[in-house]
Structure formats: structure tokens, C-alpha cells
Amino acid sequence: MCGIFFCLHQGRNLSPDPDSEAPSFHDIRAALKTVNAQRGPDAQRTVSLTIPVSPLAYTDKTASPIIHLEFFSSELRLRGTAPIVQPHESNNNILCWNGEVFEGLNIKPDQNDGAILFQELCKLQSPLDVASLFGSIEGPYAFVFFHAASQHLFFGRDPLGRRSLLTHRPTPLQPHLLLSSATCGPSPGYDFEELSSEFLHYIDLSCFVDEVCLSTISRQDAKSKARTLFAIPSPINPVLPPDDFPKLTSLDVIPPHLSQAVDDLINQLNRSTRLRVLDIPSIDCNLIKSSKVAILFSGGIDCTVLTYLAHRNIPLDEPIDLLNVAFENPRKLQGHPEHAKRENSGKPKQPKRPVYMVPDRLSGLEELEELRRLCPDRQWNFVEIDVPYAESQAARPTIEALMFPSNTVMDLSLAVALYFASRGVGQVRQQKDSKPVPYVSPARVILSGLGADELLGGYSRHRTAFTHGWKALVDELQLEIDRIPTRNLGRDDRIISSHGKETRYPFLSLSVVNFLASLPVHFKLDPRLETGVGDKMLLRLIARKLGLVEASQRKKRAMQFGSYSARMHGEKKGDAPLE
């Protein structure tokens, strides 16, 4: 994990226009370096490069015939045993790497994946070679790579957009190209947007003429019949069930036709989780038995299955942190119409629930007890992260700046929850009724269950689609996969990484995505069954087989509603822009 900042300019028009409110180039560059340094507290470095360009190539004879390239990276060390300082550099080849390679390259536990990838990139000859290499690796990533021999600058994100990379394209007022993992919020004159993950992008600097000319490379060579394994997600299996397809009678009984799928998905998820929790280096030799892995934990089925699989793959003497966040939401504590009716009815008042006993806290505590029964030898640190209203509001400007360019009411509700959960500042209890003690999670890797609803049919919109038949449901699931790169992952990466931590998504391994895409739709869900059984049916069967009985029957609840981070100020629609 790291923060990336890159800029390309010609050394002109760098002074601010006296009539403009836009910050100077030097100010915005310094600000972006600062926010990206927060993502990688272990090391930061800048590498600068100038490339002479023939004046004959310019129509503007006043322009500088020199292109200035500046590469900045910060490093959060999570792979290998030796300290790494980025950018990677050799013979004027330069790589800023914010990612993890979990499959596709032979990387030993003591090696750094970015260093190995850089060696491979330096050997390549053409843009198609670069696309082919990235299509052969699996993991979340964003990168900027300058290939000296060809004078090509490449940049991009993984096919699912699991890591943030924002771009400011040159404008007459701000004629420089900027790439950054994060921003400081909206800035006059700078229009940052998420870089599309549909393609890889490049600039041929050997034929630079007056302005930046961006080109794209397809992730999958259309002329090649052989599909590169991790270039793009596999399409959804279009096979529909027969008309007399029987309904599941109980989660306790796995139908014969689903037996293999259940075992295969357990193996796929277990492998994906194992790759994401093994070989994480200790940041301090005195903290060997401290938590290296934390889980965004609501007690729901998605995070609980991952928690149990993480337990299988993490040494028993290493605690696991369960991050459970709850908000003081004034609208939930007072002023609700139904609450007012009860208060004025003359009937005996019901005892008020403690402020932080929100739905996700209650289900999280219930699931904690189930995990303790199944895994009694593990130290589970259930981190109660209680956020007073005043504290959440004080952090709002910071959170809005981090999540930008995402700027809706729903974006803020989710970003607030993720910001405080991933910060990991709370309290833990050794036993259910023990006195809580302050605790700050030292874990740098955070697992998230995001992706299960999209891949296995966990949203109410899947039931709505099914009212038009199985084919409409298949189409909706295909849309889910197609939309993953443009939805929440970049925003979530900017929020969580601001604490110097990295999110990993076992459900969104392309190996898991492709496996689930290959299954017929009726193997994954059955909207004919009631909620809590038919939605994510295959995952519920897995949870029950693993012994997670309580988790297997929990219904879907969105994080912002389970933690009470939503609707603190009114009933605005989620897609409404922030004021």
C-alpha cells in the first residue's frame, strides 16, 4: 500500500493567475504530497525527471522544450522482510506502486511484490506487453510507470477499481497532468475525477506535441482467442433453471446439486482469505503477538464467514480485531414521531436503550459469542468504537475532503462509518461483563466483506428484478459486476488508507469473482424463498456448514443504518448532493 502523486508539466504557466481563486501549482502539489504521505507512514520519496523534446515538435515556439515529470510515493510496508522506499527506480525506469499481487507472479514470503513487478515491467517492449502483464496478475492496485526505453508513461487501476487513482487533466488554466491517490477536497481550477479502470492508460512522450495526448490500451486483446486470466471479470453464466426447479427446504440440508458448489466456494474463499492474511510483517519486534489483521465487523453473514476463515489461517497466538462502530445519532435518540407518541400516551415509559447499542453492536456481540464457542482458543478483540455526535461532526470536513470527488449524502454516511471504524480507536472487554479498557487496533490490514451482495444476490433490487423472471435476475447480476469499478471502492480506499491502513476484499478476488460468475444463477440465490434464506443462499449454506448458525440466518442491513451513521441531519435522499 502507498500513496501516489505524479505530475507532468512543461515548466510554464506555473504561477497563479492573479484574477483566479485557484491555488498555485506549487501549493496544490505540496498539499497532495501531504495527503498521500498519510497513506504510507513508513517512507516517502520524490523522484524527478526531465525529458528534452525537440522544439521542432512545437507549434507554440514560446513553450519550453522540456517535459518535467515528478513521481512521489509513500510506503506502508506490508510485503517482504526488507524495508522498501518508493518510487522503484532503475536506469530511469520509475514505478509508483499502490497495490498487492496475490496471484500471477512467483513472489516468496520475504520478497516485495512491487519490486518483483518492477523487474518484470522493465523487460517489456510495447504497450500491449504491459497490458498482458497486468492481465496476468490478481490483486488490488493503482500504478504509474515510466518506461525509459520507449519513453512511455503508463498508469491505471485494477479491473475492479479496488484502489483509488484520481486524475486532473490539463486545462488552459492549469495545463499540467496530475495523478493522485487522494485529494484535499475540491479546489478551484482543479477538476479531479476517478481514473477509469476499463482500460490501462498511457502517454507516448517521444512524440509529445504541445499538449498531453492520452491513449488507452484494452485490457483484453480483441484479436487474441486466449483470454488473459485476470484482465477482466468473467461474464455471468446465462443458464436458467428448469421450470420445475425445487426449492431449498432447509439450510441444514444441502441439496445434492449444490454440494460441490458449497465445497468449491469454501475452498475459493478460504484460499482468497489465506492469501490476504499470511506473511504480514511485524512493524515492531515487541508487538509480535499483537493483531496484524482486523475485520470490519457488524455480525452479518459476510464479515462473519471471512472472520472464521481468517481464524483458520492466522496463527492462534495472534489476536484478531473485530472493529464494530456505533454512532450517537440525535435523530434516533429524540424527536422520532413514534417515540413522541409513546411519550405522550400516558403509558409507562420503556427503558431507553444505551446510546451505542445500535443494531450492528447488538448483532456483533451476538456473533462474538458464537465465534467464542466455535474458536475458544482465539483471542477475539471486539473493539467497541463509540462515536459521540460532536466528534463525528468535527471530523466531517476531513472526511468530505478525503472522499472527494464522491459527494452525496449516502457517500458521507458510509464514509463516516468507515473513517471511524478503520481508525480503530475504542475499547475492549476480556469477557462479556468485564469492565472495558481503552484500545487502539495496531492492525494494518483490514478485511471487508464487500462484494458478497453483488456476487451472490443480497440486495432487495435482486428480488425486484426477479419479478420479471430469472433472465432479468441474470441481467441484474451482470450489471452488478459491471458497476463494481465505478461505485464505492475508490472512495473507501481514500477513507481507510488515510489512517495508514489497507483494506483487502476476499470476496473481490478475481478468482472468486470468476468462480461465482461461472455458477448458474439458481445455485447462488433463490428469490422464491423468504429473506434470510433465498438471498445469498449459497453463502448461507456455507455458513451453516461451517457451524455459523446465527450468522447464516441474518438479514441484510446496510452499514450506515446498522451503525446509525445515516440521516443525522434529516431525511434527505442518499443520492442528494452535499450542501
Q: What is the pLDDT along the chain (579 residues), one digit of tens a residue?
A: 789 999 998 865 455 555 566 678 889 999 999 999 999 999 999 999 998 876 655 555 555 578 999 999 999 999 888 889 999 999 999 999 999 999 999 999 999 999 999 999 999 988 899 999 999 999 999 999 999 999 999 999 999 999 999 999 988 888 889 999 999 999 888 899 999 999 999 999 987 766 678 899 999 875 555 567 899 999 999 999 998 899 999 999 999 999 999 999 999 999 999 999 999 988 765 555 899 999 999 999 999 999 999 999 999 999 999 999 999 999 888 754 444 444 455 554 544 568 999 999 999 999 999 999 999 999 999 999 999 999 999 999 999 999 999 999 999 999 999 999 999 999 999 888 889 999 999 999 999 999 999 999 999 999 999 999 999 999 999 999 999 999 899 999 999 999 999 999 999 999 999 999 999 999 999 999 999 999 999 999 999 999 999 999 999 999 999 999 998 877 778 788 887
Model pTM above 0.85? yes
DSSP string, 425-446: EEEE-SSTTSPPEEEE----EE
User: What burial class does residue 469 get, using C-beta atoms within 10 Å of its C-beta: 0-12 exposed, 13-18 middle, 19+ buried?
Assistant: exposed
Q: What is the pLDDT of residue 64?
A: 56
Question: What digits encode the pLDDT tens for the residues 373-393?
Answer: 999 999 999 999 999 999 999
Q: What is the pLDDT of residue 228?
A: 77
User: Per-domain residue ranges for the chain?
Assistant: 2-218, 257-562
Sheet containing 380-387: which strands, arranged edge to edge? 437-440, 425-428, 380-387, 320-327, 293-296, 445-447, 502-504
Of 2, 7, 96, 303, the active-site residue reads 2
Q: Which CATH architecture has domain 2-218?
A: 4-Layer Sandwich (3.60)
Residues 6+ apart with CB under 8 A from 539: 265, 301, 302, 305, 452, 456
Q: Are 210 and 63 spatial neighbours (Cβ–Cβ below 8 Å)? A: yes
Q: Are 100 and 78 spatial neighbours (Cβ–Cβ below 8 Å)? A: yes
* CATH class of the domain comprising 257-562: alpha beta
**Cell representation of residue 347:** 403509558
**Cell representation of residue 78:** 506490508
Q: Is 122 a catalytic residue?
A: no
First vs last Cα of the chain: how many Å apart?
Answer: 32
Q: Which among 24, 401, 62 is positioned nearest to 176, based on CA atoms? A: 24
Buried b / exposed e across 380-419, counting CB within 10 Å, b at 16+?
bbbbbbbbeeeebeebeeebbbbbbbbebbbbbbbbbbbb
The SS3 assignment for 71 reads strand
Q: What is the dihedral of CA 503, 506, 511, 512, to 10 degrees?
A: -140
